[in-house]
Amino acid sequence: MDAVVQFKNFAKSFDEKVVHEDVSFEVRRGECLGLLGGSGSGKSVILRTLVGLEKPDSGSVLVEDQDISNFSETELLEIRKKIAYVFQNGALFDSMTVFDNLAYALREHTKLSEAEIRDRVLRGLDDFGLKGNEDLYPASLSGGMQKRVGVARSIILQPKVVLYDEPTAGLDPYNTRRICEMVLRLKERGATAIFVTHDMPAAFSVCDRIAILKEGRIHTIGTREEIENFDPWVSRFIQGEEL
Ligand SMILES: Nc1ncnc2c1ncn2[C@@H]1O[C@H](COP(=O)(O)OP(=O)(O)OP(=O)(O)O)[C@@H](O)[C@H]1O
Ligand SMILES: [Mg+2]
């Protein structure tokens, strides 16, 4: 099956701290890969590397067979149009309304008319149960709504690849379910995704395979059935026991 994203022998350290020693995995076209691991295991660094916000120390990072490790800023702009990044903290523009947060990328990167933009934004908000909130500013939204606006904004350009960094963290079960449903809907439309989370039920509900990072390597990768019985450490990790 063809791979949209590939990490090959990826290594990354910050000063003396080795975060990734030898990480290799691939994300297949149309697949949602769960990326799990303890806090500080380097999940966000992997996502950041994929959009060129970090550079590998060694190894390669391929997006549709192109090694992006040494891409220029101009080349990275093209990659960032293809890959949406749902940031861990939402990263909304505080000084813009919900409407303008969603419209921003459409105004910057497409030639759509304002009427078409309005249509796309309102449809995007409706998909996330956010209709009627378009004139509000992020500060007046609940945490769950901010997260949903963040996801809606990230995917407005209908990207081929979506990177979700803990999109359900801190959400109640209802909002968690809504985000998971949206991830599944995008998957049905053919999007390839990496889903970083600490939420095992959410991971099992949306991911085709799950990769677990440990000590700078992919400790295991596979379907739920494959990883559940992989080894006692993984079983304890999945059950949320102290390691
Ligand atoms: N720019 C940076 N400078 C220095 N250290 C960094 C930098 N970015 C990440 N690190 C370190 O790399 C390690 C991995 O960070 P990362 O944010 O990827 O962890 P994570 O798996 O996403 O954790 P969490 O689940 O808490 O979000 C951490 O020890 C972090 O302190
Ligand atoms: Mg993180």
- Mean pLDDT, to the nearest integer, of 34-57? 95
Cβ(212) – ligand 1 distance below 6 Å: no
Could you read off the pLDDT of 70-92 as tens digits, one per residue?
899 999 988 888 899 988 776 88
- Which has the closest alpha carbon to 198: 11, 66, 36, 65? 36
Return the best residue to mutate from 7, 18, 21, 43 for the ligand 1 pocket (most ligand atoms within 8 A of CB).
Answer: 43
Q: Is the CB of 55 under 6 A from ligand 1?
A: no
Q: Where does 3-95+161-238 sit in CATH, by number?
A: 3.40.50.300
Q: Cα 232 to the chain's mean position, in Å?
A: 28
Q: Could you read off the pLDDT of 104-134 as tens digits, one per residue? A: 999 998 999 999 999 999 999 998 888 999 9
Instruction: For residue 73, give the nearest of 55, 89, 93 by alpha carbon.
Output: 55
Whose CA is closest to 134, among 178, 88, 177, 101?
101
Q: Which residues contact 67 (CB under 8 A, 6 or more apart)?
A: 60, 61
